[in-house]
Each structure stands twice: as C-alpha cells, then as structure tokens.
Structure 1
Amino acid sequence: MAPADGDQRNDRGGVLADAVARFGRLAPRPALRGHVEAIWRSRVGDRVDAPLVIVPDARIDLIWTGSQLFVAGPDTSPALAPLPPGARVVGFQFRPAAAGALLRAPMHALRDARVDFAEFAGAAGRDLAARAADASDDAAALSILQDGLARLLADAPAPDPRLDALYARLQRAGDGESDLARLARAAGLSERSLRRRSLDAFGYGPRTLARILRFGRFMDALRARRGEPLAELAATLGYADQAHMSREVAAFSGFTPSQVRRQLGAPVAVSFKTHRRD
C-alpha cells in the first residue's frame, strides 16, 4: 500500500480510510444479531503515513483497537483516526436504531464523539476491555468481546420497527425525499415525535439522515467502480446537480468527488455532455 501523497490528502492531512485500509466483514453470533448487523475488521497499510479519514455512514459502532474499547457516535463530518501503520481494528456495527438498547443514551448526545465504553457499561465495560486486552490473540479477543456483548444485550429491547422502516425508506436508491410530514404519516407519528425519535435513535433528524444515506450511496457507487461521469452520477443519486453533489461530498468527506474517485481507484469516465468541474 503506497503512502498517501499530497493530492490524496485533505486539508487536515488525512486520507480516506477506504483507500489505505483493508476491510473484512463477518456475521455476528446469533445472540447478537438482533442488535449488531456486522463485525468488521480493518488493517491499516504498513506504509501509510497519514491519519485516516472516517466518513459519516449513519451508523454507531463499538470499536476495539487492541487496547481501547470505545463507542463511535454518529458523525456529521469527516473524523480523523490517527492510527499507526499496520494497526488492526475491530468494530461492531449496530443495526439502525439499535445502539440505544445497549448504551441507554440518546444518540444525538454522542454525535461526532468517541466515548469509552465504560461510560455506558460501567464496571462490566472496563472488565470486558481488560479481558480482551489479555487475550492470547485477535481471535480470542473477538470471542471475548462477542460473549460480553451477548450478556449485556440479553434483555435489551428490539429496535422500534417504525424507525427501521424510516431508515429503509431513506436508504433506498432514488428515494431522496425527506419531507417530514410525509415521513411522519408513513410512520404513524406526529412530525415532532418522528423528529425526536429519529434524533434519539440515529443522532440525526430525518433530513440529515437522508443526506448522509445519499452520501453513502455515492461512496458505494465509487467502491463498485461505477465509471459514469460525475454529472450523470449526481442525477442518478438524486442530487440537484453536480455542484450540489460536490458540496455534499466535501461536507461529509473533506474531498471533492474526483479526489474520492481517485483514492478509491475507480476509472475516470469522460463525458461530452458537460464540462462542469467539481
């Protein structure tokens, strides 16, 4: 993995985590699946000499670094993770609207924050981190973490299905609508109640949630090496135009769409329909 060069870094000196770290996903144990969607593992490249840029994805994660167990709250802007070359990280990605059952806190209170798990789980959280740190290897640490989370989630309530439906509605490709009145009617809630529940469950109101999920579709498109011109990609994803997409991508990543595309290695397409720059 090559070091990050100046063209790849944002104005804070960071490089996209997706570009310089290898990610793998595995299914959690059955006891966790009502609240944990996936376990991801990441290894930073050995020659990476820049902090990693973590972009918003409308999710909450419990992250283990080998020495620290902490909650990564819902982000609204890119965050820097100053991990050393070769670092290994494990994350438990919660299902939409499911983290509150474990953390017993509104997600808007954790927005753009990284908080030690012991702040939520007390002695049980400290003990879990200590036992994982004493594990013989990464596999043993992961087993300890899954066992501990299963115990903590044993009596946790399931996510509100109305919020599951809201998330799914806003996540669908091409469905960029975030009209609060329409969403509230679909959920069978008042507008005020829907916004409050959305803030508690996701950390965002419905409109911000919709923007971040659309940005996620942009990232997915580039990860899939879709090579259409940026103006066409903007239209496909429901942005008003390419300039609108560029503003949103910059807000959530710190990069232009072209910079993101270059970092992720997608082919650059040439369009004869537009000469607009991002």
Structure 2
Amino acid sequence: MDYVGRVPAPPLDRFIDDIYCLTGVPSHRWMNVPPMPSAHLFVNLGGPVRLRDSDPSVPSAVFTDGWFMGIWTRRFLLEYPPRVRLVGAHFKPWGLSPFVDGPVTELRDRWVPVDAVWPRALDRIRNRVGDLASATRTLRVVEEELRSRLADAPSRGLRLVQRTGGRLETSHGVVPVSALADAAGVSGNHLATQFTSHVGITPKRVARIYRFARLIVSVDALRPVAWSELAQEAGYFDQAHLSREFRDFTGHTPAEYLALRRRFPAEQGFPPDSGPMPADGFFTSPAAP
C-alpha cells in the first residue's frame, strides 16, 4: 500500500499527530494492533473493513463508511479489503475531546459511526473527495473538516490534560504521575478525573501505553536485541515486567514478536510506528466471524 501523511497546520497539531491516506493492495489482510497513544478517525473510501476486538465477547464489526475510535487499552484485529482506500487521523490521547460532544469515556475501547458524532459529515467529505481525488486533495478535505469541528475554546480541564499529557508524550511515559500532579498544582485524584474525562483513561494508564509505544519503536529487528537493556531504558522494572506487557499488549512473547518482525519487516515509506503487525498466517489466525 501507499502511505501519504502529514502533520496538520496549527492549531490542529496540538491535538492531532497526523492525517494520512492509505491506498492500494495490502501486503497483509489482517493486522494485529496493540494499544497505542492515539484515538482515531477513519473515513473508508474503498471496500468494507472488518474490526475484531481481542475480547471474544465483543461482536466483530464491518465498516463501509467511517468511524471514530477512542483510545484502546487492549489489542484489536483489523482486516483490510483486497484494495484499500482509506483516510484517517491519529489524535493525541486527549485530542479527540475538543472535536466531539459528550464524554470521551464512551469511546474508550469502542467504535462509533462518524455520522453519529458528526451528522451528515461523511457525505460532505465523500462528495468533496470524489472517486479520483489525489491523496493530497483528500488530506486537505479532511483537514478542513477537522478545522471546522474544533471547539473555539478548549475547556480548562482539557488544557490541564494537554500540558501534563505533553510531558508524558515527551518522556515516553516515565514521569511519575505524582510528579505531574505536583507540577500542575493539583491533586492526583483531580488529575485522574480530568484525564478520564478528556482521554477516557487515567494518566497512569496513558503512561503505560506511551512506555510500550517507545519500547516497540526501539526494537531493531535486524540486530540482536538486549531485552533487559531495553526494559531498563523504557522504564520497566525488569525483563519479566516487559514480557508481561508484551503478552498483554500484543498477544505474543518478545521472542515471538521479534521473529514476526524479522519475517515481515515494516514496509518502506510507512511512518515510524511499528505497533501494528501482521496477524494472518503467523502464530494465530483470527477466528471466523
């Protein structure tokens, strides 16, 4: 597949890491996506996309239009169609809050149709993009829609979450939450309440996801991996702690993950986000719906 992405212009860049367009034939139909420090917007301009929760009690979903996803605390499986045409946005953990009405907690570990959040927006985006628009044109249309949806004045609580969340982002989740609360002049309980309201999860859990994201991008599959050193650099107690996180976040051991990356290297030209990994034909295959 071809990936074209860019960081949106201010002020959207305070809330969105990138807007991107995926087109073409996927190398792998199924992708295993671990928790990452992002909420998502997807607008599907191609064939149906299937999403399966790693929680077997949650029914799978098929998307033909567009959907929002809040931050996820467990992995999920994504099945691409034979040919992909998809535009999306990676929001920062707190980034979805100023674009939607209602509590973000309702989007945690969930997906909802775009039109349920932005009525009639999907038809407007599709009509403006058309069938033959370039990736550049498609990204511009989605960026303009996002700009029109951004709240004029973010709430006071969101500003607090944005400041402290930014420290978690730059530190890759290693700053103690107590230090964040002290620096902000608020109690730990107040900070946790604001994070839950604007992110959907507590700052401690956000830190855990950032820490794992750093670990994932630190793995160089072309070289021998010193897991104990990586564990220390990423802020884990020890290698056993790291191994438990791998199991929880990916369904694989570190050794299995490394073998997977060596068998299926990341595609050239894609962003430096090594979190999603092929799920078809290796270790486990998704159950039939």
TM-score bin (small chain): 0.7 to 0.9
**Cross-structure match for 1:162:** 160
Q: Distance in 1 between matches of 2:67 and 2:21?
A: 15
Percentage of pairs with the same residue: 27
State the distance in 1 between where 2:172 and 2:125 align.
Answer: 41
Q: 2:44 aligns with which of 65, 69, 74?
A: 65
User: What does residue 13 of structure 1 align with?
Assistant: none
Q: Distance in 1 between matches of 2:175 and 2:144?
A: 40
For 1:112 and 1:127, locate their aligned partners in 2 and report how far apart those are by CA, in whole Å. Answer: 26
2:285 alignment counterpart? none
Q: How does 1:79-228 map to 2 (within 5 A)?
A: 79-123=76-120, 125-131=121-127, 134-139=130-135, 140-153=137-150, 155=152, 157=154, 160-173=158-171, 176-179=174-177, 181-222=178-219, 227-228=224-225
Per the normalisation by structure 2, the TM-score is: 0.73
Shift in CA distance, 143/80, structure 1 to aligned 2, threshold 3 Å: same
Q: Residue 168 and residue 46 in structure 1: after superposition, are their counterparts in 2 closer, same or farther (change >3 A)? A: closer
Shift of 1:162: 2.6
CA contact (8 A) 1:59 1:74 kept: yes
Contact 2:45 2:126 in 1 (8 A): no
Asked whether the 8 Å contact 1:70–1:114 carries over to 2, the reply is yes
Q: After the TM superposition, which of the residue ranges 215-224 and 153-162 deviates more from structure 2?
A: 153-162
Shift of 1:38: 1.2
Once residues 67 and 229 of structure 2 are traced to their aligned partners in structure 1, the CA distance between those partners, rounded to angstroms, is 39
Deviation at 1:28, TM superposition (A): 2.0
Instruction: Tell me if the contact between 2:70 and 2:96 (Cα under 8 Å) persists in the aligned partners.
Output: no
Contact 1:35-1:158 at 8 Å conserved across structures: no
Please provide the CA RMSD for this pair: 2.8
**What amino acid does structure 2 have at the position aligned with 1:141?**
T
- The CA distance in 1 between the partners of 2:168 and 2:23, in whole Å, is 31
SS at 2:19's partner residue?
A: strand
3-state secondary structure, aligned to 2:45: coil
1:80 is displaced (CA, Å) by: 0.9
Instruction: Spell out, residue by residue over 1:90-138, the C-alpha distance to the aligned partner (whole angstroms, 9 max, x if none).
Output: 2212234221111123222111111111111123x24334425634334
Q: Which amino acid aligns with 1:94?
A: F
State the 1:84 CA deviation: 2.1
Note the residue ranges of structure 2 that are not aligned, 5 or more in a row: 47-64, 264-289
Tell me how far apart the structure 2 counterparts of residues 206 and 131 of structure 1 sit (CA, whole Å): 39
Instruction: Name the CA distance, whole Å, in 2 between partners of 1:44 and 1:218.
Output: 29
Aligned to 2:279: none
Distance 2:10 2:193 in 1: 31
Distance (Å, rounded) in 2 between the aligned partners of 1:183 and 1:42? 37
